[in-house]
Structure 1
Amino acid sequence: MKKVLFIVGSLRKGSFNHQLAELAEKALEGKAKVSYLDYSAVPIFNQDLEAPVLPAVASVREVTEAADAIWIFSPVYNFAIPGPVKNLLDWISRAKDLSDPSGPSAINEKLVTVSSVANGGQDNLFGSYRNLLPFIRTTVVEPFVQTRVNDSAWGDGKLVLEANKLAELQAQAEALLAAIG
C-alpha cells in the first residue's frame, strides 16, 4: 500500500491544520497508509550539529525516506512558511553524505503537496512552497488546497469545511495518489 507522510505545520494540539490533515486522511482511507511525522524534538538547524547525526534528526530522515509522498498541512505565520516546518525541511533536505553537499537527501525526489487552513496569506505561503520545494529537489504535486477557519471554530475549536472545500481536498488526494502511481 502507498505510504503518505503527513507533516502538520502547527505543533499546537487540536490545530486547525491538524484537523484538516484528519479530513485528508479520510480522503486517502483504503488507498494509502498515512502516518504523521513527529518532529517536535528536532533542534534548530545548526551545521555544528550535523555530525554525528542526532537521534531526532535520524528519526525524521528515516520516516521521510520510507514515505512514497509527503503532504504538508501548513498554517501561515507572518505570510510565510512556519519556522518549525522550514527548520524541518532544512534538516531533511541536507545531503546524507556531508562530503557531497549536492548528494541525495531524505526528501530527495519525494512527491510533495501542500494544504493550508488560515484566514489570509496563503498566496504568499504557497508561492514560498512552490519556490522552496523544487529547490530542495522534490516534485511538487498540484493542486494545493486552501481554506479559511470557519467563524464558529474560534469558539468551539472545530474546523468545518464546506462541501466544495471537501471536494477540493478529495481531488488533491486523488492527484497525489495518481502521482505516486
Structure 2
Amino acid sequence: MKNILFVVGSLRQGSFNHQMAELAEKALEGKATVTYLNYSDVPVFSQDLEAAVPAAVAKAREAVQDSDAIWFFSPVYNFAMPGTVKNLLDWLSRSLDPANPAAESVLHDKVTTVSLVANGGHEQAGDQYRSLLPFIRTNLVDHFTTATVNDSAWVDGKFLATEEVLAALDKQIEALLAAINS
C-alpha cells in the first residue's frame, strides 16, 4: 500500500487544516497509509546550519524519503503560504550532496498536492504552491481542494466540510493516487 505524508501547515492543535487532513485520511482508508510529519522543531533555514544537518531536518528528510507522496494542508496567512511550510520546503529542497547544490533533494520527483482551508486568499496562496513546488522539482498534482472556514468553527473549533468540499477531496484523492501509480 502507498504511503502519503501529510504536512499540516498550521501547528495549532486542532487546526482547521488538521481537521481537513483527518477527513482526507478517513477517505484514504484502504487505499493508502497516512503519516503526519511533525516539523515543529525544524529550525529556521540558515546555510550556517546546513553542513551539519540538524536532527529535526534529517528526520523530516527520512519521512519524505519513506513516502510516495506529500499532501500539504495549508492555511492562508496574509494571502500567502505559512512561513513554517516555506521554511520546511527550503530545508527539504536542498541538495543531498553538499558538494553539488544542483544535485537531487529528497523532494526530487516526489508527488505533491495541496488543500487549503482559510477565509480568503486561496488563489494567492495556491499560486505560490503552484509556482514553488514544480520549481523545487516535485511532481505537482494540481487538483487542489479549497474550503472556507464555517462561521461556527470560530466559536466551537469544529471545521465542517460541505458536500462540495468532500466531493473535491475525493477527486483530489483519485488524482493523487493515479499520479503515485503512474
TM-score over 0.5 (shorter chain): yes
Deviation at 1:108, TM superposition (A): 1.0
**Residue in structure 2 matched with residue 176 of structure 1 by the alignment:** 176
State the Cα distance separating 1:54 from its structure 2 match: 1.2
SS of structure 1 residue aligned to 2:173: helix
Structure 2 Cα separation of the partners of residues 150 and 85 of structure 1: 24
CA shift, 1:66, in A, is: 0.9
CA distance in 2, matches of 1:78, 1:154: 18
2:86 corresponding residue in structure 1: 86
| Corresponding position: 1:103 with 2:103 | yes
Provide runs of 4+ in structure 1 moved above 2 Å. Answer: none
- Secondary structure at 1:137 match in 2: coil
RMSD, aligned CA: 0.6
The amino acid that maps onto 2:29 is E
What's the TM-score once normalised by structure 1's chain length?
0.99
Matches within 5 A, 1:1-181: 1-181=1-181
Equivalent-residue separation in structure 2 for 1:52 and 1:119 (angstroms) = 40
1:142 CA drift (Å): 2.3
The code of the aligned residue for 2:10 comes to S
Contact 2:17 2:117 in 1 (8 A): yes
Segments of structure 1 that go 5 or more residues without pairing to the other structure are: none
Offset, 1:174: 1.1
SS across alignment from 2:42: coil
> 1:141-165 CA deviation, whole Å, 9 max, x = no partner?
0210100001111111001011111
Aligned mates of 1:108, 1:81 — CA distance in 2: 21
On the 8 A contact 2:130/2:142 being kept in 1, the answer is no
CA distance in 1, matches of 2:42, 2:103: 22
Q: Give the residue type in structure 2 aligned to 1:19.
A: Q
TM-score by length of 2: 0.98
| AA of the residue aligned to 2:53 | V
Amino acid of the residue matched to residue 79 of structure 1?
A: F
- Kindly provide the amino acid, as one letter, of the partner of residue 117 in structure 1: V
Alignment length, in residue pairs? 181
Separation (CA, whole Å) in 2 of partners of 1:5 and 1:172:
15
